[in-house]
Structures are given as structure tokens and as C-alpha cells.
Structure 1
Amino acid sequence: MGKKHVSQQYREHLSKLVVEEGRTPRQVSEEMDVPVSTLRKWAAAYKKEKMAGKDPNQYITPTELAKKEKEWEKEIRDLKEENEILKKAMNIFAKNP
């Protein structure tokens, strides 16, 4: 079977499903009957094109975003804990000059 020619719009649409909506290439491949390897190439090219000269955080996948959110939440917890320790230390030093 020969290569199927698809429009740039169609490629972009499928790439958005993978890059911006966070769906896996395998899911989109099964739904749209496009080879996984082709989808991966299109998604990589789309991401590279969209990120050219832009903030790298602007085009992160939902999985990457969730990972960053967990890191930020951990950092916030650590900083809150550190603040509490410093407040207690400040009270101790204020009572015992």
C-alpha cells in the first residue's frame, strides 16, 4: 500500500491532540488510523515549531505540567515547614535574650 497524503491541517490537528491535549500517540493512532511513528514525528515537529523563540513552559504537556505542579507543591510544603521552624526559633530567642 502506498503512502497516504494528508493535509497540513489534519497533521496539525492530530499533533495538537498529542502535544496540547496530552493524549498518547498510541491513542490517537488507534482512533485515527495513522501509524504511531508518523504521529510521533508530526507531534515533535509541531512542538518544535510552536516553541521556536517562545517560552518553553508555554507548550508543555499535561503530564509535564502535573509533574511540575507536584514539585511546586512539595517546595511549598517544605517552605511552610521551614517557616514554622523559624517562627518557633524566633519565639525561643525572644524569650531568652
Structure 2
Amino acid sequence: MGSKQRTYTPEFREGAVRIVIETGRPIPEVAEELGVHSGTLHSWVSRWRRNGSASSDRPAPAASSGRLR
């Protein structure tokens, strides 16, 4: 009785986070509607609030005017 780990596209994650942020709806409600575990959606929202992206734990690299070495 194993469970299969699902992967979600960055676009899906961003869309799910956008629903929570823009509508103010509760995470469990949105998660159930989208078929995602509420803990998963909660981590995406937390990551977005920290980094501005639901897809990565690392913040986006800052634009640099200098050249790469």
C-alpha cells in the first residue's frame, strides 16, 4: 500500500498560491478543491511569502550590472 509522490509544475504551484493570496480563502479549502494536501499548499504559500516564488526554496538571483568572472 504505497503512495505515489506527485510532482506539480511551477505554473500549477504559482496558480494555487495566487488563489490563496488574492482571494484570502483558507488553505485547506483551496487545497481540497485542487486535490493537493493542505500541508503541501501551506509550504508553497510560506515559500512564496519568503521568496516571492512557490517553486524554489532559493530566492531568485539578483540582476547584476557587472560581468561574470
- Which bracket does the TM-score occupy, shorter chain normalised? 0.5 to 0.7
Alignment of 1:15-54 (within 5 A): 15-50=17-52
Q: How many residues align?
A: 51
Please list every run of 5 or more consecutive structure 2 residues that lacks an aligned counterpart in the other structure: 53-58, 60-69
3-state SS in 1 of match to 2:23: coil
Contact kept, 8 Å, 1:19 with 1:47, in 2: the verdict is: no
Q: Which has the higher helix share?
A: 1
Q: Which amino acid aligns with 1:2?
A: K
Amino acid corresponding to residue 31 of structure 1 in structure 2: E
Q: Which amino acid aligns with 1:45?
A: R
Same amino acid, percent of matched pairs: 25
Q: Which runs of 4+ in 1 moved over 6 A?
A: none
SS at match of 1:20: helix
Q: How does 1:79-94 map to 2 (within 5 A)?
A: none
Aligned to 2:56: none
Q: Please, which runs of 5 or more residues in structure 1 have no aligned partner?
A: 53-97
Look up the SS of the partner of 2:6 in the other structure: coil
Shift of 1:20: 2.4
**2:14 corresponds to:** 12
> TM-score normalized by structure 2?
0.66
Query: What is the root-mean-square deviation of aligned Cα atoms in Å?
Result: 1.4
